[in-house]
Amino acid sequence: MSYYLQATFSRGELDPELVTRPDLELFRAALAECENFITLKRGGFRRRGGTRYVGEVRDSGAGAWLMPFEFGSGQNYMLEAGNHYFRVYTSVGRVVSVEVSTPYSLSVLPDLKFVQSTDTLFVTGGGIRPHAIKRYGETSWAIEPMDFHDGPYLEVNISSTSLTPAGKGNPVPTMTSNTAPSGVVTSSGALADAYRVFNGDPDKVILSTGGIGWVAYQFPVNVVIDGYMLQAPSDNGKNDDMPAQWAIDASSDGNTWSVLDTQDAEADWASSEWRSYSFPNKTAYNFYRFRFNKGGGSTSDDAAIAQLVFHQAASDQTPFDLTASNTGGINGGDGFGSSDVGRHIRLRGSDGFWRWAKIDSVSSSTVVKVRLYGQSLIDTFAMGIWRLGSWSDRTGWPGAVGWHKNRLAFASTATEPQTVWESQTDDFTNFAVSQPLVASNAVSVGILSGQVNRINWLNDDDDLLAGTSKAVRAIGRATSQDPFGPENVDQKPETNFGANGIQPIKVGSVLLYFGRYGTDMRELAYDLQADGRVSQSVSETQSHLFRTGITGACYQQYPDSIIWPWDRQGKAIGFTYEREQQVFGMHRHGFGGVVECMAVIPGDGFDEVWMIVRRVIGGQTKRYIEVMQKPFVGGLIEDAWHLDCALRYDHTPVNTVSGLDHLEGMDVILYADGSDYEGTVSGGTVSLPNGRTASKILIGLDVTARAKTLPPPVNAQDGASVGRKMTVDEAKISVFETGVLRVGAETTHVDAQIFYRAGDTYGEPASLRTGVVEADVDLRWEDGGQLVFEASGGKPCTVLAVNYNLSMEP
């Protein structure tokens, strides 16, 4: 006879194929089974918390999905997203007045990816245009399609097709006098030829014989102007007549003016040079004025310009025709179609500058109506250099989204599955690039590989990590000396172990993701010897838990650092993960139903795991939103919460509790003032037996937690113990704050080990036990020395270590 001590269970449940591998170092820290117990970072195992019933999804027959929304300052929400709607919950329940329509059908919800910035959740996926869910207040929510600016775009057209515009985006006609063909041109010197500023001719127009003056245009109707271009005279290099400082003013009556834009130190103009300027404006005015000083160079004489071209805000424009010479280069030669509505087009004008337009409607395969953004065209010549937008109903919408260096990044459309697009810095919907390029411009990069591997997810790190079906690749700076941007970008492979579509989880500096088929979990971490990131499996020794394939996962950082995947059969897996302490413990969890979704938001002192559980209640299928409760760690025994789908009554003593319609017809446990009673819910109510009363009553479904030790890895005198018959007569079990524990064998029975002791108050529950419990167990020789631990009902249970005497056949 010998004693065997197991002082840690931090490796959790071991794959059954490894039960005869006592040579493995992890064997002495593992279990043969671990269900509804959580393995702790410090070595023991504890009953998981039960779940609190929050509410039923809108349509129990269809289902729903969960989307966390962390607004900050303790204002955290969980969104119930169902078939074309979402509803809002807080920790105390549903915000009843909020239900918002969405474009998302139930089938695409698991494929959605989302990231958050303060009060906005950016959502993409499902083949649908990216949307933004916005919180305006506790009861004011909305979802809006994201309105992108200037791109992104496909490659430049290389076909013979040219595009000819019927408009220029400039609301000022080509003027032939100060009053013709329409509108009125005025100037500070009442010049008869001031109209030449607007006649499309690059010749010099002297607006003042000094350095100060103005020229204005009065529209026949109010117009919204949000940009303008200036051209220097062709001889400006000789006399430097261009103003260096000016303002753009606007007025509704010609008397009271508002300043829309100012510029200073605009010197060193080259002959015939164009410069463009934009400003935010949504107000329509009748008068617009270019008011300048510091004109005429150093002598401040003969201040002059060549042209002033206004841009009418696109939302204020009447869409005009853009006609293609043929269908070549447009949608594979098919030409324009109805799915191109809303698509961007980038156009290079005759002045060499790029503008962009948005398709308002489609007239034919070669004609679309557009609105022009940014700046006006200077003419209506045909343009052979153009680019179609990357995103549309025709080409597809991004399937992944993430953050990277203060940019919003998207990836993976139907036509460009390996491309990543990053917005301008701190301007999350702007995908424009300037002339010349600057580091803050938008970035577009294609993942280079020998195969077409769709990007399944993006994750922010120093580099942007992109998970594809065959590899994980990193997008970052090509050279470390310069900032990341369109001229300093590179992509490289990190590992050739691919990933599925489940969003990965970042724990410290380590990224945990799921393999291509969802049957393994891998960590991507920096390795000093390899001088780079290395991917290795963290589920190999618990591979049996992943065989059916993982469909989703979330991370509960506090209190126990647990990753919560769930599989295709609706079973949840807890993974206690603390890499620095070599804690990799997995445990199974059954919630009395099918887990369809889990998500995490911060709670009161711990991270709350929310879930949607499909249950059969009274013969009917119900889908409930429930929140896992904090495991019991200290406090009063009656405060423990280890029942599922439960609600708590906490008030004056009563015998009967109502409001339990969600458990109608179910056998339940009434955990009343720290003691367990059985009951059946009828008419939404349940009563304590024999007229008993209690002031704190938790009513819910019973949960049995179960753990089983591995065969003891001890050696016989003549060799290894594998296959030898063993038996245990006595076990010394170290417990902590435990109110219930049964110990025994698989083939015989398990016996309760927590009893009333001398000094316990009559009529009160037995005191929680902390210390060593001596258990007499009845094992057969065929049991192989494996002990079974069970706990059910409402009381807590934590096991820290087991020391048992072991007898083994010779």
Q: 778-787 pLDDT, tens per residue? A: 788 877 889 9
Say how far apart CA 58 and CA 538 lie, in whole Å. Answer: 38
pLDDT band at 794, cuts 50/70/90? Answer: very high
pLDDT band at 757, cuts 50/70/90? Answer: low
Q: Are 489 and 478 in contact (CB under 8 A)?
A: yes
**pLDDT given for residue 307 in this prediction:** 96
| Chain centroid to CA 238 | 57
pLDDT in tens, 123-165: 999 999 999 999 999 999 999 999 999 999 999 999 999 999 9
**pLDDT given for residue 122 in this prediction:** 98
Say how far apart CA 626 and CA 597 lie, in whole Å. Answer: 11
Nearest to 735 by CA among 803, 687, 673: 803
Name 364's Cβ contacts closer than 8 Å, sequence gap at least 6: 335, 336
Going 178 to 194 to 354 to 226, the CA torsion angle's sign is negative
Stronger pLDDT, 457 or 726, i.e. the higher one = 457
Residue 718 pLDDT more than 60?
A: no
pLDDT in tens, 289-342: 999 998 887 777 889 999 999 999 999 999 999 999 999 999 999 999 999 999
Q: Are 584 and 575 in contact (CB under 8 A)?
A: yes
Say how far apart CA 1 and CA 704 lie, in whole Å. Answer: 32
Q: Are 788 and 707 in contact (CB under 8 A)?
A: yes
Residue 451 CB-density burial (10 A; 0-12 exposed, 13-18 middle, 19+ buried)? exposed
pLDDT in tens, 54-107: 999 999 999 999 999 998 777 899 999 999 999 999 998 999 999 999 999 999
Q: Are 96 and 82 in contact (CB under 8 A)?
A: no
pLDDT in tens, 381-401: 999 999 999 999 999 999 999
Q: How far is CA 146 from CA 120, 430, 793, in A?
A: 11, 11, 50
Tokens representing residue 799 in the block: 């096991």
Q: Are 221 and 318 in contact (CB under 8 A)?
A: no
Strands 307-312 and 320-324: unpaired
pLDDT band at 756, cuts 50/70/90? Answer: low
Identify any residues that bridge with 590 across adjacent strands, giving them in sequence order: none
Stronger pLDDT, 723 or 734, i.e. the higher one = 734
pLDDT band at 808, cuts 50/70/90? Answer: confident
Going 244 to 250 to 255 to 258, the CA torsion angle's sign is negative
Which residue type is seen at 636?
L
Mean of pLDDT over the chain: 93
Q: What is the mean pLDDT of residues 107-116?
A: 97
Q: Are 109 and 102 in contact (CB under 8 A)?
A: no
Identify any residues that bridge with 701 across adjacent strands, giving them in sequence order: 644
- Which residues of 252-353 form beta strands (DSSP E)? 257-263, 274-278, 285-293, 303-305, 307-312, 320-324, 344-348
**pLDDT given for residue 728 in this prediction:** 86
Q: Are 411 and 458 in contact (CB under 8 A)?
A: yes
The helix or strand, by DSSP H or E, that contains position 238, with its residue range, turns out to be helix 236-239
pLDDT band at 712, cuts 50/70/90? Answer: confident
Nearest to 566 by CA among 541, 591, 583: 591
pLDDT in tens, 162-209: 999 999 999 999 999 999 999 999 999 999 999 999 999 999 999 999
Q: Are 564 and 609 in contact (CB under 8 A)?
A: yes
pLDDT band at 758, cuts 50/70/90? Answer: low
pLDDT in tens, 469-498: 999 999 999 999 999 999 999 999 999 999
**pLDDT given for residue 716 in this prediction:** 47
Q: What is the mean pLDDT of residues 657-675?
A: 97
Q: What is the mean pLDDT of residues 437-445?
A: 96
Q: Under DSSP, is residue 529 helix (H, G, I), strand (E, B) or coil?
A: coil
Q: Are 29 and 583 in contact (CB under 8 A)?
A: no
Buried/exposed code over 176-187 (b: 16+ C-beta within 10 A; e: otherwise)? eebeeeebbbbb
Q: How many CA atoms lie within 13 A of 563 on its CB side?
A: 28
pLDDT band at 805, cuts 50/70/90? Answer: confident
DSSP-assigned letter for residue 16: G
Residue 117 pLDDT more than 50?
A: yes
Say how far apart CA 259 and CA 676 lie, in whole Å. Answer: 75
**pLDDT given for residue 548 in this prediction:** 95
Tokens representing residue 431 in the block: 């995908």
Say how far apart CA 92 and CA 99 lie, in whole Å. Answer: 17
Residue 717 pLDDT more than 70?
A: no
Dmax (CA) of the chain:
119
SS3 content of the chain, % helix, strand, coil (to 5): 5, 50, 45
Residue 50 pLDDT more than 50?
A: yes
* Residue in the structure block whose two tokens are 């130190």: 265
Say how far apart CA 516 and CA 12 lie, in whole Å. Answer: 24
